[in-house]
Every structure is written in structure tokens, then in C-alpha cells.
Structure 1
């Protein structure tokens, strides 16, 4: 428990960086398309690693990926990939880096088709957060499975059901705060 005596989700109870993220960002309904895309890309980088590691490097990721502006990242080629692979401030996975570039192109294709990324994503939950079971143990959901498949059909990669579920939690599409967490009622 933290010094302010509020009960949080178990994963945010002992680390100041995770606690701040939990209290101010995680599960807060996000509607900005670019911010949602950034969070999806960071969740892809997190696969197999700790979220704390990604948070601690978030600013380096933002710098490396031009503020996660898809219109810039979509133009990255081999030279930029080489620079990213040499960047010690980020996770230097060629597969994940190439996925971000592919996903920037897929994001732009959605825009070019006259659709809004945020609207497309929120439509998958009928425009309002889905309440999780409050156990803090879910790693997948039907909504995440369906949205993962929909994103893959639109050309996204590194968006499997577990990554998409975690991203939906982070963006407030699925409220998975634990039952006793003070944030559980946020976004209802």
C-alpha cells in the first residue's frame, strides 16, 4: 500500500513509476487516435518484457519514432531502421521496429479510407468501456480477440489478442482495474 492509503491494482502497489502510470493513465478512456496508436506500438514493444521497462524508456521511444507521428514513421526505410537498431534507449528488436513502420502505414490507410482510428476502435466496444471481472488476472478477452483480428485484416502486425487486450485496458476500452482498486469506477 502507498503512503496515501488508497488501494490500487496489485501491479501498481510497490513501484512509484507504475503507480503514477496506474493512477493517471492506465484505464483512462483515451479517444485521441494518435495517442491510441502510440500506446498500441508501446504494447507491442512490451511483449515478452516488463511494462515498467517500457515506461522507463517511453521518452526515448517517442524521440526515436518522431513523437509516434504515423505520417513520419510510415516513411522510415532501411537507414532509419539501422539507426533504431543502434539506439540503446529503446528495445532494439528488428521485428518490433518493422511492425511499428507497417502499423504506421496501416494507420494511415484507415485515415485515407475516411475513417478515424479512435472511432474504429471504440466502435468495437459500442463506444463505452467494457467492465472486466475485477480479478486483475485477465490476459485476453472476446473484445480483444475480435479487435486483434480486425486490425490484422487492416494490415497491422504485432497485434495479437494478448497485446490488444493489454492495450484496450491501457486505453480504457476495457476497465480491468481490480475490484478493490480506487480507479475501478473511473470511466463507467
Structure 2
């Protein structure tokens, strides 16, 4: 499989974008851009958890509804959700209706709520590897798991977070700009 694809605008992009306009927008505007803030990283953690076993485009298409029904992913608000909210979310076809993932998101919000302002951001970014200056030249150069994502996963699980496995945390690190895996030749590289 080729590692780059040229879009309708003539720009070379990481080939996972394909020809989907939403993937192209996400790649160009979000993926690999440094993301900070407890709320933003809690949202990213939650959505990456919901993505487990699914394609990311499914999550992107459902993200507006996720934001609506999960109170904008404001941890203090999500932490107040109760069993009635779980049932409400389980009946909402606009999101991924997985009880374990819904309950994990609420539980994770409760943990974030106990943390100090900026603590989740600082914790996550403390596991970002130093920039190596070496850019991947193909998808084969992009790992699914790293020592850093494994360590982040272990620390989050130690604190009680769920759906934060090492592969999920590496995907978060990529999307939140903690690592830059844009393929060499991509206009964003």
C-alpha cells in the first residue's frame, strides 16, 4: 500500500486519509497538532476509547453527537452522570452504544474531577517522547505501541482509568500531537 495520496487540492497526504473529505479535514487541521487542556484531552481519551475495535472515521462522524450527549466532555459535568444517564446514552443511536465504554467515560471523568487544574494535561504530556527528528517514510515505520504509550497506559490504569490501553494511548499521542507520524512527503510533515 502506498503511504501517500494526492488529494483533489494537489497536496500529498498520509494515505490513510483516502478520499473522505472528513478524514482529509481531520488530517489537515487536527491530527498531529499539539493539543492541550484537561477538557480537550479528556474528550480525546474518551473518543479514542470508544474507537477501540472500530474505525476512526466512525467516531469522527459521530463526534458532534458524542459532544452533545456527553455535555461537551466537561469532566465535572460527565462525572455527575448516573444510571439514568447511562440508560439514556445506551438508547442513543447517534453514538457508540457500548455500556462498558459509556461507564468507563463516566468513571474516567470522576477521576479527572479529583485531579488539579491542568494535571491531566501535564500527566499525559509527561509521557510524550522527545522529537527524534526522524520522520516515518512509510506506514511500516509507524508503530502501534511504544514504550511511552505503554508507560502512559500503565500510569492511567494505576490511577483507575479504563479503556486506556497502550495502543489506544499511542493513537491519542498521534492525534494530540505528542508524536508526529505524518509520513515523509505529506504536506503536514
**Poorly superposed stretches of 4+, deviation over 3 Å:** 128-133
Find 1:155's aligned residue among 151, 157, 160. Answer: 160
Aligned to 1:26: 31
Find 1:96's aligned residue among 67, 87, 101. Answer: 101
Q: How far, CA to CA, are the matches of 1:122 and 1:141 in structure 2? A: 15
Task: Render the CA deviation track for 1:95-127: whole Å, top value 9, x for unaligned.
Answer: 10001011101111222xx6621111112226x
Q: How far, CA to CA, are the matches of 1:45 and 1:86 in structure 2? A: 16
Aligned to 1:116: 119
Find 1:59's aligned residue among 41, 59, 64. Answer: 64
Is the contact between residue 153 and residue 166 of structure 2 (CA under 8 Å) also seen in structure 1?
Answer: yes
Q: Secondary structure at the match of 1:8?
A: strand
Aligned to 1:175: 180
Task: Render the CA deviation track for 1:155-174: whole Å, top value 9, x for unaligned.
Answer: 10000001000001000001
Q: How far, CA to CA, are the matches of 1:139 and 1:131 in structure 2? A: 19
Is the contact between residue 129 and residue 172 of structure 1 (CA under 8 Å) also seen in structure 2?
Answer: no
Q: How far, CA to CA, are the matches of 1:108 and 1:55 in structure 2? A: 25
Stretches of structure 2 lacking an aligned partner (at least 5 in a row):
1-5
In the superposition, the TM-score normalised over structure 1's length comes to 0.90
In the superposition, the TM-score normalised over structure 2's length comes to 0.90
Q: How far, CA to CA, are the matches of 1:54 and 1:132 in structure 2? A: 30
Is the contact between residue 130 and residue 173 of structure 1 (CA under 8 Å) also seen in structure 2?
Answer: no
1:68, CA displacement in angstroms? 0.4
Is the deviation greater in 70-79 or in 132-141?
Answer: 132-141
1:133, CA displacement in angstroms? 5.1
Find 2:53's aligned residue among 45, 48, 51. Answer: 48
Stretches of structure 1 lacking an aligned partner (at least 5 in a row):
none
